[in-house]
Structure 1
Amino acid sequence: MAKAKESGNPFFIELYILQLRDGVMRIAATDENVLFNNEEYTAVPFQRGEITTSMDNLTDSCEVSLGDCTYEALRYVMEGFDFRGCNAIIFRIQYPDSLKDPTIFQPVFAGYIDEPSYTNGEFTCKVKSRLPEIECPNRDFRLACNSEFGDEECGMSLAEETMTVQSVSSNNVTLDKSHADNYWKDGVITVGGESRIVVQSSGNTVTLNVNFVQDITGHSATLRRGCNKTVDMCRAYNNMKHFSGFPAIPFENSYH
């Protein structure tokens, strides 16, 4: 990328938006971070293969690979991010013109992540098109709430805030602002494209499910409240009128 910038000629780079279950991750197929449309894309030197079509013309897919990575580091990252089944959007921008005008971009592919594998230092996965899959809205008969926290059915505010990370000790992050105990519990903290789930919070400290890969001290962190979809949490939020689960489900009994 440095050589391409030195040439003075515009060139194309690909950006990826991964819609994970615990937040959104933005990465760039480059060797340095990219700030596009006021969003930072973390540099991850991926290589994308050609978009292929199945023999029945129903499923399009493309393969994405990352070389020179260790299994231990990859397993550590996978413990913090659950990639499989999550949506991925790939688009191309023209550097440096698109940084000034974010309307200059070209969609490349969109789908969901599947088939992750690791062989001889190379991590690969496929991005598969969701078409022609059709999702039919329905309500599951289950204890947990069916709504997504903060959506129209839930009605709760995500209460998103941006704060500065003062210090980090293992999976405990100290911020520059305090809140009531467990105010951020089951929420999400995002720093530089990485997201983690908050398992508990106390004052200005939040405890994460897995600590960050990068050093986040001094960086801006965006926190968003969450919900574990239980009756107790919905009562704590005083939002039971919008609870869409079932407080009790009878056990199945068999008589002979």
Structure 2
Amino acid sequence: MAGGGCSWSLGRRRTKYESFRYPAEIIAHCVWLYHRFPLSFREVEELMLARGVIVSHGTIRQWCAKFGPDYARARRRRRPRPGDKWHLDEVFITIGGERKYLWRAVDQDGNVLDILVQNRRDKTAARRFFRKLLKKQCRTPRVVVTDRLRSYGAAHREVMPPVEHRQSKCLNNRAENSHQPTRQREHTMKGFRSAGGAQRFLAVFSTVSPHFRPRRHRMPATDYRTEMRHRFTVWKQITGATGLPTPP
């Protein structure tokens, strides 16, 4: 929610939080809560009230819409170069009572490369997703792994024929498992209202949420806590927040 409590003088650099009543710590914390945990805007409002911060769920919705994409872009710029083995998969989602398809690509380490919500899963849809993925990554992979959907093979022969294409349901568990957090969130939100809203939310969610989900089963507790401290430090650098939120 914009407020008139912040003014800036000549010579001081204007920040993206300048015209907002609340400081960066509170805004970033609300965006983090909404995209990290399966919470509604009203539940985030309640959690902030427990900390002594009075903010409406409508304001939290505006913050997520305005700052969420900025945080996601900054996070993507900081992540390491993706692997050269890409796993692609599609899953149906319900939007406004209609069946749509969420296309997703991840690398061999489970990092989400791109997503795209489409009406179909035919050759045209697969070709569109391939081209969007190549444009965003600015590179071609060494191997592409998909299931046995024929649309993948037809689109692959047109868009990236030199790339090795492996089609096997058993080899594509990496992409299929990456759908689980989306399924959980879809259930919490009782479905998405529009294709555009789903695309915008999932583009942010697929970047912010995995940042705070290291593979805990592969590391002892001390290493996990060290890794999480590092990730929170990166988050503070991305958002410009210097600490935990405090009441304004």
TM range (shorter): under 0.3
After TM superposition, the score normalised by the length of structure 1 is 0.23
TM-score of the superposition, structure 2-length normalised?
Answer: 0.23
Bigger Rg over Cα:
1
Q: Per chain length, whose mean CA-contact separation is higher, i.e. which structure has more relative contact order (CA < 8 Å, sep 6+)?
A: 2
